[in-house]
Amino acid sequence: MVKVIMDHQGSGKTKNIVQLVNEAVKDARGDIVCIERKAELTYDVSHRVRLVQASRIGGFGSVDFFKGFICGIVEGNHDITQIFIDGLTKFVDGFTIRELESFLDWCEALGERERIKFTISISQNADLATPEIKKYF
């Protein structure tokens, strides 16, 4: 399952993600991962969450590289039940709408196969979302 939180920058998406992460910890039957670009959420999310600071890895040159990064996280821990991604479009420069649609569909397929729920925030006006993206709202 994929849930998308899409709104313009500064609208409170990160605060919403933090709240959802901390609520998920209360009912978690497995491990929770939160992927952020920089070390900004360290003191906001529960210590029981695996907080991944992607900037430590380096730049993600492509969407496929980012998918590989996520696959590595999933393969390294088969107890993951939820993955939160804060600010998806900040990880790969120039994310096109088609790439975004494809990435969300890929997350949906991975989530079904591995029984992982994805919650993803995207800094972009929700009015610009295509029907393919809106199905994840």
Least Cα distance to 25 among 82, 77, 71 occurs for: 82
98: phi then psi, degrees, rounded to nearest 5: -65, -40
CATH of the domain at 34: 3.40.50.300
Structural domain boundaries, residue 69 = 2-134
Number of domains in the chain: 1
**CA atoms of 39 and 53, how far apart (whole Å):** 6
pTM score above 0.75: yes
**CA atoms of 57 and 120, how far apart (whole Å):** 20
Radius of gyration of the chain (CA): 14
According to the model, what pLDDT value does residue 103 have?
98
Dihedral of CA atoms 46, 85, 56, 115 in degrees, nearest 10, equals 80
Alpha helices, H only, 10-130: 13-27, 63-76, 97-114
Per-residue model confidence as pLDDT tens for the chain (137 residues): 999 999 999 999 999 999 999 999 999 999 999 999 998 999 999 999 999 998 888 778 899 999 999 999 999 999 999 999 999 998 888 889 999 999 999 999 999 999 999 999 999 999 999 999 999 99
According to the model, what pLDDT value does residue 57 have?
80
**CA atoms of 102 and 36, how far apart (whole Å):** 21
According to the model, what pLDDT value does residue 94 have?
84
